[in-house]
Amino acid sequence: MPPAVIHAARPRPSTVPTWAAWCLVGLLVALLVVNTLLVPSLDGHPHVPEVITAAVYLAVSIALHEASHVAALRTFGRSIDKIGFRMNHWVFPAFSVRMNQSLLLSRQEQVCVHAAGLLVNLVVNAVTLVCNRWSWQSPALDFAASAVFVAAAWNVVPFLNSDGYRVLLSLTGTNATRELRANPFWLISLKIVGVLFVIAVVTHTVFTFTRSALA
- Read off the DSSP letter of residue 79: -
DSSP code for 86: E
Residues in contact with 188: Cβ distance below 8 Å, sequence separation at least 6, in sequence order:
180, 181
Tell which residue, 119, 116, 134, has the closest CA to residue 38. Answer: 134
Q: What angle do CA 96, 11, 115 make, to 5 degrees?
A: 35
Closest-CA residue to 165 (of 198, 146, 201, 189):
189
Backbone angles phi, psi at 97, to 5 degrees: -115, 120
Which of the residues are catalytic? 66
Helix H or strand E segment including 169 = helix 163-172
State CA 111 to chain mean position distance: 12
CA–CA dist 96, 75 (Å, integer): 19
Length of the chain: 215
